[in-house]
Each structure stands twice: as structure tokens, then as C-alpha cells.
């Protein structure tokens, strides 16, 4: 249960809004859907891409000590033997002998099925990696796995990246990509999928510096979610206790978010020592040591891994953006997205579908679409159109009216405050750029100073 009683968001409202407005659809919906697989619709794909782009910009593009990579989903089977996934990437599976329902070990207590009261089986270890075959012959020789995390692609490419980029420790390799887990139980919409995307960093460091870097990345990543609009009160850190850690891990912290169904993990940050590099060095027989020219030493680097889920970040951002308010006796649903992640940045709304207004509005629309994702909407009343844009989180509406034809000015309306100003078309792009970059929506600042501020209604 949610601990925040003032929150208007529920999972039902998010699922329904996502379906209704084209953020997320069930996979293969016309065939009844495929469990825990989801399709991102026209707005969802923009939102998701903005989240990945924000991560890439902040974690890779803006940092001297990070490079990106994109590795294949199918990898040599020895990767999964060396990493321990073939042996240990398992969940305890319990089945009901009566109704055949399946449970993950930690979901049930005792021997009685919570669903039908039947008898439960003993738990057996179930490997959650998806298996497939490479090539035309389906035998054990051709078995390959869909990766359950992107991380291994970074570990095995460490020597390639070092030799081609000449990066010096400490530095990280970052990747965004699909991962697959045959989860025993799923649910909670896009929180737990069988196919999902991850944003992962493997940060390679000199042994002995792990505490400093672990703390650095925990803070960095905790702050990042807030920068994108997640409320601080809805975030918490769960530092894992010694007994909760994997045998090789030196430390681990989860960043948790207060989803409508309760606290859930958004990201895990793990201090992994040299476990992964040792495993791959031993299994491959290759020398994966880093040559530290300054210290005149060679060693296997230690690794700190911040591992985030794109789908969970999208869900969390939607939950915290969701708001409802009553304006003039009518309910308004708003997604108060940070401009960086809003799927559509502005909508151009002509007051009439007719010429010459339509051409003027089209001209403005075309001038904006080279810079941003913008929408053109000329159907129904202007009030209805504003509400539609509010509901999908568009920060600005640009209204083109008959006066525009005479004075070359448009009305810009801001989503959250519903403040409206009239500005020259020539100032529109600059104004939107400043606003989208976060300039306050108040009267008198640089970008607004040419406009007349008014309030809707």
C-alpha cells in the first residue's frame, strides 16, 4: 500500500491513461495479449527515448570518464558459465498440485496454496534465462541464451575499449539495451516484464578505491531521478546487509521508489570487486589485466555497477507526473512531466481549420518540428485541445488566432500554471527553447518580457 495519502495516482489510472492515450499497449493485444510483454505506443516511445537520452547525455556525453557501447543480445554460452548465470540465475519455483498455479519461493509460506488451498510442491530451482538455438539444428550444441542483463557485454569488451580509446582508470563503459528474464510471476504493469530495457554502467576502478566510488555512484544516481522530476519523498535507499549480499559483492544499495503498489526497486548499485573480471580471465584464458603505467602495476580492475531499468523509470516518472485538479468545475488530468522527458514539447493549435489561418499555423508548426517533437491539432474546441495536451504532459500550447494574421503574434500557454502570454512569432522559438531548458514561467524574465501575461479562464 502507498504510504502517501495525498497522492492521486493509482496503478489503474496510469494503466488506463497509458492505454487511452497511446503510451503503452499490451503486446499482441488482438490475440489476447502476451503475459508481461508490452508495446510502447506513439507517446510512450517518445517518453522512453527521452528517458534513455537523458541518461545517456548525463552519464556518457557529459562525462570525461565514460564511453558507450552496444553489444549483442546473444553471447557465447561460456559468458554465462563464467558469470555464474547458468548455475545461479535461478528463482525457487513452487507449484500447486491442485490448481497448477506457480509461485516464486518468497511469495508463499507453508505448504498450502493461497489460491485454492491445494498442496504445494517442494521448491525447485528454475533458471530464468530464455534459451534458444543458433543455426538450423536444435541440439544442446546450438543452445544460446537471450541476455538477462547487459552488463556482461561491458566486461568482455573491457580490453577492446581500453586499447581503442586509451582510457585510463577510473572510467566506465555504459550501455542501454534489451534484457530478457523468464520471470516466474509478473504483474504490476511495466514494473516486472519478461522483456525490458536496462541502462547499465560498469565503472572500472583501481582496487582499494571501491568505497569512494560506490558512494559516488549511489549519490549520483539518487540525485539523477530527482533531476528528472521524481519527488525526493518517493525515493529511498536500501543499503543491503552483509547477509543479503551475493557472495562476491562488497556492497550493494537499491534505489527504491514509492510506486502506487508500494516500494519497489528502480536501480541497484553494486560494488562487485574483481569477481567478474576474474571469472572471465579464468574462463577465457585471456589476460584482462589493466596496465597502470603511472603506478607501474598490472591488476584486474574492481567494478562498481549502477544498473537501472528503463521501464521502471518510465513508470515512476509517470506516477510522479500524474495530477488531477478541478478547474472551473471540470476535472483536469495533467502529467506534469519535466520538459526534458515530456513526449511532445509543444502543440500548435489554430483557432480555425480554414485558410488562411491553417497555412499560417502549419508554417509555425513546420518551423518548430525541426527542433522538437511537436503536434498539430485543429479538432474540437480549444479548451478540449488544451486538456488533451495536459493529459499527455505537453508543456506548451501555441495558439494561432485571427489576430495572428494581422500582428504576427501567437499565444503561448503553459501546462502547469495555465498562464498565457502573447509573443511575436519571431520570438517563439527562443522563448520555447528557454522555457524547455527550465527558465521559470514568471512575468518579467528575459524570454517572456516581450509578451503580455494572462491567465486562462
Residue with cell string 534505489: 255
Question: Per the structure block, which three cell numbers stand in for 412?
Answer: 503561448
Question: Per the structure block, which three cell numbers stand in for 140?
Answer: 544442446
Give just the sign of the alpha carbon dihedral 422, 426, 427, 432. positive
Which of 17, 51, 54, 266 binds ligand ATP (CB under 6 A)? It is 266
Q: How far is the CB of 256 from ligand ATP (least distance, A)?
A: 9
Q: How far is the CB of 23 from ligand ATP (least distance, A)?
A: 16
The β-bridge partners of 86 are none
Give just the sign of the alpha carbon dihedral 429, 432, 435, 438. negative
Among 186, 179, 182, 34, CA closest to 107: 186
Complex with ligand ATP: residue 52 or 369, whichever CB lies closer: 52
Q: How far is the CB of 214 from ligand ATP (least distance, A)?
A: 15
Residue least distant from ligand ATP (Cβ) = 309
Q: Does 312 bind ligand ATP (CB under 6 A)?
A: yes
Complex with ligand ATP: residue 49 or 289, whichever CB lies closer: 49
CB 130 within 8 A of CB 97: no
User: Measured between alpha carbons, how far is 30 from 21 in angstroms, rounded to an integer?
Assistant: 18
CB count within 10 Å of CB 322 equals 22
End-to-end distance of the chain based on CA atoms, in angstroms? 37
Using CB under 6 A, which of the segments 9-17, 96-104, 108-116, 308-316 binds ligand ATP?
A: 308-316
Q: How far is the CB of 448 from ligand ATP (least distance, A)?
A: 39
Using CB under 6 A, which of the segments 19-27, 136-144, 266-274, 431-439 binds ligand ATP?
A: 266-274
Question: Per the structure block, which three cell numbers stand in for 52?
Answer: 534513455
Q: How far is the CB of 312 from ligand ATP (least distance, A)?
A: 4
Q: How far is the CB of 32 from ligand ATP (least distance, A)?
A: 21
Complex with ligand ATP: residue 246 or 452, whichever CB lies closer: 246
Q: How far is the CB of 201 from ligand ATP (least distance, A)?
A: 11
Total residues in contact with ligand ATP, by rule CB under 6 A: 15
Using CB under 6 A, which of the segments 13-21, 262-270, 289-297, 326-334 binds ligand ATP?
A: 262-270
Q: Does 305 bind ligand ATP (CB under 6 A)?
A: no
Complex with ligand ATP: residue 222 or 386, whichever CB lies closer: 222
Among 228, 229, 223, CA closest to 255: 223
Burial of 28 (0-12, 13-18, 19+ CB in 10 A): exposed
DSSP character at residue 179 = E
Complex with ligand ATP: residue 48 or 435, whichever CB lies closer: 48
Complex with ligand ATP: residue 188 or 420, whichever CB lies closer: 188
Question: Per the structure block, which three cell numbers stand in for 413?
Answer: 500557454
Q: Does 272 bind ligand ATP (CB under 6 A)?
A: no
Site for ligand ATP in 168-197 (CB under 6 A): 181, 183, 192-193, 196
Complex with ligand ATP: residue 204 or 257, whichever CB lies closer: 257
Give just the sign of the alpha carbon dihedral 429, 434, 440, 442. negative
Complex with ligand ATP: residue 3 or 106, whichever CB lies closer: 106
User: Measured between alpha carbons, how far is 75 from 284 in angstroms, rounded to an integer?
Assistant: 14
Q: Does 268 bind ligand ATP (CB under 6 A)?
A: yes
Q: Does 307 bind ligand ATP (CB under 6 A)?
A: yes
Q: How far is the CB of 27 from ligand ATP (least distance, A)?
A: 14
Q: How far is the CB of 240 from ligand ATP (least distance, A)?
A: 10
Complex with ligand ATP: residue 265 or 378, whichever CB lies closer: 265
Q: How far is the CB of 182 from ligand ATP (least distance, A)?
A: 9
* Peptide bond connecting 170 to the previous residue in cis, omega within 30 degrees of 0: yes
Among 76, 96, 95, CA closest to 86: 76
Q: Helical H runs in 231-337?
A: 275-284, 310-321
Q: DSSP strand E in 219-261: where?
A: 235-239, 251-259
User: Measured between alpha carbons, how far is 23 from 18 in angstroms, rounded to an integer?
Assistant: 4
Complex with ligand ATP: residue 17 or 266, whichever CB lies closer: 266
CB count within 10 Å of CB 306 equals 25
Q: How far is the CB of 177 from ligand ATP (least distance, A)?
A: 12
CB 248 within 8 A of CB 239: no
Sites of contact with ligand ATP (CB under 6 A) = 181, 183, 192-193, 196, 198, 265-268, 307-309, 311-312
Amino acid at each position: 500500500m502507498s504510504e502517501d495519502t495525498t497522492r492521486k495516482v493509482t496503478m489503474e489510472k496510469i494503466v488506463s491513461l497509458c492505454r487511452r492515450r497511446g503510451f503503452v499497449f499490451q503486446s499482441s493485444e488482438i490475440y489476447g495479449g502476451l503475459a508481461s510483454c508490452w508495446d510502447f505506443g506513439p507517446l510512450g516511445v517518445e517518453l522512453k527515448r527521452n528517458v534513455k537520452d537523458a541518461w545517456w547525455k548525463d552519464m556518457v556525453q557529459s562525462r570525461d570518464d565514460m564511453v558507450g557501447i552496444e553489444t549483442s543480445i546473444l553471447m557465447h554460452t561460456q559468458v554465462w558459465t563464467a558469470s555464474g548465470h547458468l548455475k545461479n540465475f535461478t528463482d525457487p519455483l513452487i507449484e500447486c498440485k491442485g490448481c497448477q498455479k506457480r509461485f516464486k519461493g518468497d511469495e508463499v509460506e507453508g505448504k498450502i496454496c493461497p489460491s485454492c488451498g491445494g498442496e504445494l510442491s517442494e521448491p525447485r530451482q528454475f533458471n530464468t534465462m530464455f534459451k534458444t538455438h543458433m543455426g538450423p539444428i536444435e541440439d544442446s550444441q546450438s543452445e544460446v541464451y537471450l541476455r538477462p542483463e547487459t552488463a556482461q557485454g561491458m566486461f568482455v569488451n573491457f580490453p577492446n575499449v581500453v586499447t581503442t580509446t586509451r582510457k585510463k582508470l577510473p572510467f566506465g563503459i555504459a550501455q542501454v539495451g534489451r534484457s530478457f528474464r523468464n520471470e516466474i510471476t509478473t504483474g504490476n504493469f511495466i514494473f516486472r516484464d519478461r522483456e525490458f530495457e536496462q541502462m547499465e554502467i560498469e565503472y572500472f576502478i583501481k582496487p582499494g578505491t571501491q568505497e569512494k566510488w560506490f558512494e559516488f555512484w549511489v549519490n549520483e544516481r539518487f540525485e539523477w531521478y530527482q533531476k528528472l522530476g521524481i519527488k525526493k519523498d518517493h525515493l529511498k535507499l536500501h543499503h543491503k546487509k552483509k547477509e543479503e549480499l551475493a557472495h562476491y559483492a562488497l556492497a550493494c544499495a537499491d534505489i527504491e521508489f514509492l510506486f502506487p503498489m508500494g516500494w519497489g526497486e528502480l536501480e541497484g548499485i553494486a560494488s562487485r570487486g574483481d569477481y567478474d573480471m576474474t571469472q572471465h580471465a579464468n574462463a577465457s584464458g585471456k589476460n584482462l589485466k589493466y596496465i597502470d603505467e603511472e603506478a607501474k602495476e598490472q591488476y584486474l580492475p574492481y567494478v562498481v555497477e549502477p544498473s537501472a531499468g528503463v521501464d521502471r523509470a518510465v513508470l515512476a516518472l509517470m506516477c510522479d507526473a500524474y495530477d488531477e485538479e478541478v478547474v472551473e468545475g471540470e476535472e483536469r488530468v495533467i502529467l506534469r512531466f519535466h520538459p526534458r522527458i515530456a513526449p511532445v514539447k509543444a502543440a500548435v493549435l489554430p483557432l480555425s481549420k480554414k485558410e488562411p489561418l491553417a497555412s499560417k499555423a502549419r508554417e509555425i508548426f513546420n518551423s518548430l518540428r525541426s527542433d522538437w517533437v511537436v503536434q498539430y491539432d485543429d479538432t474540437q474546441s480549444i479548451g478540449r485541445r488544451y486538456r488533451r495536451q495536459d493529459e499527455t504532459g505537453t508543456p506548451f500550447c501555441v495558439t494561432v488566432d485571427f489576430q495572428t494574421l494581422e500582428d504576427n503574434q501567437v499565444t503561448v500557454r503553459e501546462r502547469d500554471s495555465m498562464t498565457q502570454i502573447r509573443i511575436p512569432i519571431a520570438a517563439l522559438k527562443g522563448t520555447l527553447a528557454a522555457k524547455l531548458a527550465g527558465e521559470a514561467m514568471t512575468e518579467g524574465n528575459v524570454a517572456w518580457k516581450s509578451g503580455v501575461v494572462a491567465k486562462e479562464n
